[in-house]
Structure 1
Amino acid sequence: MRQIDCAHLLTGAGVQNNQTIEIEDDRIHSLRSFTGASKPRLLAMPALVNAHDHGRAVRTSSIGASGKPLETWLPHLALFPAVDPYLAAAVSLGNGALGGAGIVMMHYTRVQGFTDLPAEVAEVARAARDVGVRVGFAVSMKDRNPVGYGPPELLLNALPKEARDEIVSRFVRSTPAPRDQIKLVEDVAAAAESPDFTVQYGPNGVQWCSDVLLQAIAEASALSGRRVHMHLLETRYQRGYLDQLYDGDVVKFLDRIGLLSPRLSLAHCVWTRPDELELLAARGVTIVTNSSSNLRLRSGVAPAARMFGCGCRVALGVDGSALDEDDDMLRELRLTHLLHVGSGFSPKANENDVLSAAAATGRLSVTNSAEGGIIEAGAPADLLLLDYDALDDDHLRDDLDPANLVFARATARHISELIVAGRAVVRDHRVLGIDLEAARREVVLRMRAGQPAMASLSAALPHLDRAIREQMEGQFSCT
């Protein structure tokens, strides 16, 4: 049994001071008060949940994608050469652990492709075990709109021939039938699923999935109980395109086919309307808001305060695009609070709302279990310990609200330890289960070696950027 003396606990149901956390195996055995002062002073809070991510090992600004709207940013991701899936996942999950994320949703929209997908995902699961984090894994599913929105021919015909041929070879290919995509998810689950690695259906988004595929996923999820993780209404152009396609009622369409349920998580929802949020709340859908990513990709600011206000289940994600591209979940927590607290004396989203979103709500969407996200006897021992002496380095008063300090200044540099299932995953800014620096060096070396093969794609992308911009602004922009 391990005992941890903490000056402060943010339990998820309030603040407690001078508490000893007793951990036995993978559970919190008990909490008990102690007298005197703990040295060093520690603040414990539930391990944070990155409820939407894609498992990228290298920052996208390294390939020149920074500052682009989503629609032109996405094709640039093809400039990342394929690398060993174990190494890529280990680096991504290790970086996330250093940022405080003990539970991670990985929407696997970029396959490395050295082997069949079930074997590849088994390697991702092995990396998750070695790092020591819990993972939800959504298998990418799509069958329309390989470039832009709508039939690709109009966009492709706007490109010079050489650029067109390059884009077609990279992005336009046949896709498996819906039943085969459903079967692939089950094959992946058979190869990789475990209590700490939950496989889900991962339709990329309504704009990338046919009605037939979405309905097949809804039916399969209802039969199996397997969760679904999907993007929805991330950008103004997606709103405009889907309004044209579904007469302004895309959320009602998803409801009609049975996709809206407590098994569904939707990433972003930046451009949802109030009536749509009411419907999502009524159906028990989880919305994952990604504040930094939405800002970096010019998608806008999600109506998170309205989501909280109408009773939506809200979780937080960094989407591989944290504010400083460093996977810092503590900074994401603070940014989300500042963006949505509102003005004046009546906060629209308070600290408890945001902490609950970051620690508790996302657990169900990632692990398919609502257990945890709170520090109490019997709960999973998933804890984030902060160095409170470093956080309160001025130490002018002893009566400060520790939650207020967390929301004022906490970042990854204040993390003393991350514990998942009773196991120390990060301690003193080092991932214990893997040699993260060696893995990162190897990934970067392999990606550098693959850059010469990307020259033709790099030359074609400016033409594609221009054509996509003209299509989006000319056909799908909404206000």
Structure 2
Amino acid sequence: MTQKLIIADHIITGINADGSPAIMDDTAILVEGSRISEIGPTADMRRAYSGAEEIGGRGRVAMPGLINAHHHVGLTPFQLGARDQPLELWFPERLAMRDVDPRLDTLYSAFEMLASGVTTVQHLHSRAPGDTEAVLSRADAIIGAYTDLGMRASYSFAFRDQCRMVYAADEDFIATLPAELRGPVWTYLSSFGLPLEEQIAVFHSLQDRWADQDLIGIQLAPSNLHWLSDKALESAARLADESGAPMHMHLLETPYQAEYARRRTGGSALAHVDSFGLLGPDLTVGHGVWMTDDDLELVADRGVCLCHNCSSNLRLKSGRADLNGFLSSGVPVALGIDEAGLNDDRDMLQEMRLAMTLHRPAGHDAPFPSASDIFRMATEHGAATTPFGQSIGKIARGRFADVVLLNWNALTYPYQDPAIPLVDVILRRAKPASVETVLVGGAIVYHQGTFPAVDKAAVLDQLSQHLRRQKAPAEVEQRNLGYALLDPVRDFYNDWL
């Protein structure tokens, strides 16, 4: 079994129960195979394991790999032609997006994530056209891209069986459209009409295919209340019980989703989901922007995890989540970049900084998230939303050696007052340029701007060549259809709020 020593001036192993960072100085991490087997003083570890390969050294800070707990696609929708819109208008806007090879697409965003210290991603595959084999083929291409690169991924194909364009039955919405749009819209929506039973079969097939792969976990993603019939909610609950797989579910992202829940159930989306037994420690709620105090109390009582998607909430006009309320409730809160960050990229360090800064309300004594709060969201609490659970999110014996080495000089040059706490400095100042080395399962997957397993330049060149070609007639048709749907979709929601 191969042995490696990861050496750093300081190792942030995690966040203590009291909210303080756990930091070890002049310490080395022994990695045997894919896991951490020992942590101790550097001098002692060098003597005991003199034959081990050394990684890092003086001037480095080690920390647990970051976890992007909510992610969907590779190239961003904006890059591919979809302007930022309020979420409900963004659904038709996304028809403007170019078609991209799923492997290349996945590698593109994975490069950005790894370069900002992300070692694990929660890949929520929301839309995949075609039959079962087409969906599985696309899933395998996405998962294969992560394994080729050496990145850890939790993958799910999101269940949905209704309301594919607006928060109403497809046929009811189509009946309101001008005659010339009805056929094209029905054809488009039907391409995402895989029956629920076959969607369940996709989950089982993926679990079987990737069962023995340390880097990959398969989980469930009942997509959102408006996209799921009661039959689908029952199926998700049954599958969760049978498989033990964790779940990730979008809920209450916008005020329109809160109103849909009221119209459908007479009450709260969370209360309705709870009636199927779905709320519990194995469920993560993505967004939750429009939860009420009663919703948050229910979430805390059931032990549900939350995932805060700060940039997405801002870009899609979804509102500002009550992160401080989430944190004070004691609910575990993870952090996700969703479709893309504020700079239209997947810079997790910036997403952490944004979440820390946005939720600092006026008033000297008003609560606000500390650097340690945000750090724990991006590590330990992110881990809790994945099938990897207690195996990632901290630097500790027995856990996977998912470790990020920061170059402290690059992070602080030309000066940083040493009185400022270490984690605070990282949260305020760290950028991808200060990420020197990233290890996943003990293997170096990123080092000084390069990815040992995949030629980044070749991938970007293939993407560039493919996307610079003239748009295919089907792409032009779909874009025009999306633009034609913007006004009818807007009209549908006119009396909702």
Query: Does the 8 Å contact 2:81/2:97 carry over to 1?
Result: no
What residue number does 1:331 align with?
350
Q: Deviations over 1:34-66 (max 9, x none)?
A: 58xx96511111100001111x22122123423
DSSP 3-state at the match of 1:391: helix
* % identical aligned pairs: 28
* Residue 461 of structure 1: how far off its partner (Å): 2.3
DSSP 3-state at the match of 1:430: coil
Q: Deviations over 1:448-474 (max 9, x none)?
A: 436232222222323311121222232
Is residue 285 from structure 1 mapped to residue 307 from structure 2 by the alignment? no
Amino acid at match of 1:220: L
* Distance in 1 between residues matched to 2:286 and 2:152, nearest whole Å: 19
* Distance in 1 between residues matched to 2:293 and 2:280, nearest whole Å: 18
* Distance in 1 between residues matched to 2:417 and 2:124, nearest whole Å: 44
The one of 276, 281, 285 aligned to 2:295: 276
Is residue 385 from structure 1 mapped to residue 402 from structure 2 by the alignment? no
DSSP 3-state at the match of 2:245: coil
User: Which stretch of the first structure deviates more once superposed, 208-217 or 75-84?
Assistant: 75-84
Q: Deviations over 1:316-358 (max 9, x none)?
A: 1101211111200011111111122444246432222211111
Query: Does the 8 Å contact 1:146/1:172 carry over to 2?
Result: no
What residue number does 1:75 align with?
92
- In structure 2, stretches of 5+ residues that fail to align are 16-21, 44-55
What residue number does 2:280 align with?
261
The one of 211, 220, 230 aligned to 2:230: 211
The one of 428, 444, 453 aligned to 2:448: 428
* Residue 283 of structure 1: how far off its partner (Å): 1.3
DSSP 3-state at the match of 2:386: helix
The one of 436, 440, 446 aligned to 2:460: 440
- In structure 1, stretches of 5+ residues that fail to align are none
* Distance in 2 between residues matched to 1:396 and 1:317, nearest whole Å: 29
Is residue 44 from structure 1 mapped to residue 46 from structure 2 by the alignment? no
DSSP 3-state at the match of 2:38: strand
What residue number does 1:17 align with?
25
What residue number does 1:310 align with?
329
User: Which stretch of the first structure deviates more once superposed, 432-441 or 149-158?
Assistant: 149-158
Q: TM-score, normalised by structure 1?
A: 0.92
Query: Does the 8 Å contact 2:92/2:483 carry over to 1?
Result: no
DSSP 3-state at the match of 1:105: strand
The one of 137, 158, 161 aligned to 1:119: 137
* Distance in 2 between residues matched to 1:366 and 1:76, nearest whole Å: 30
* Distance in 1 between residues matched to 2:463 and 2:157, nearest whole Å: 23
What residue number does 1:464 align with?
485
Q: Deviations over 1:151-194 (max 9, x none)?
A: 34554345443344332221245734433322221022222343
What residue number does 2:46 align with?
none
* Distance in 2 between residues matched to 1:251 and 1:174, nearest whole Å: 26
* Residue 225 of structure 1: how far off its partner (Å): 0.8
The change in CA–CA distance for 1:174 and 1:52 in structure 2 (over 3 A counts) is closer
Structure 2 matches for 1:172-183, cutoff 5 A? 172=190, 175-183=193-201
Q: Deviations over 1:71-107 (max 9, x none)?
A: 1212333333444332222223233212221000111
User: Superposition RMSD on alpha carbons, in Å?
Assistant: 2.3
* Residue 401 of structure 1: how far off its partner (Å): 1.6
* Distance in 2 between residues matched to 1:396 and 1:152, nearest whole Å: 57
* Distance in 2 between residues matched to 1:169 and 1:451, nearest whole Å: 20
User: Which stretch of the first structure deviates more once superposed, 400-409 or 230-239?
Assistant: 400-409
Structure 2 matches for 1:100-249, cutoff 5 A? 100-111=117-128, 115-153=133-171, 155-172=173-190, 175-193=193-211, 194-249=213-268
* Residue 236 of structure 1: how far off its partner (Å): 1.2
The change in CA–CA distance for 1:167 and 1:175 in structure 2 (over 3 A counts) is closer
DSSP 3-state at the match of 1:202: coil
DSSP 3-state at the match of 2:219: strand
What residue number does 2:49 align with?
none
* Distance in 1 between residues matched to 2:402 and 2:313, nearest whole Å: 28
The change in CA–CA distance for 1:172 and 1:472 in structure 2 (over 3 A counts) is farther
* Distance in 1 between residues matched to 2:196 and 2:481, nearest whole Å: 31
Amino acid at match of 1:98: A
The change in CA–CA distance for 1:39 and 1:303 in structure 2 (over 3 A counts) is same
Q: TM-score, normalised by structure 2?
A: 0.89
DSSP 3-state at the match of 1:141: coil
* Distance in 1 between residues matched to 2:464 and 2:176, nearest whole Å: 35
* Distance in 2 between residues matched to 1:430 and 1:163, nearest whole Å: 48
* Distance in 2 between residues matched to 1:224 and 1:306, nearest whole Å: 32
User: Which stretch of the first structure deviates more once superposed, 95-104 or 153-162?
Assistant: 153-162
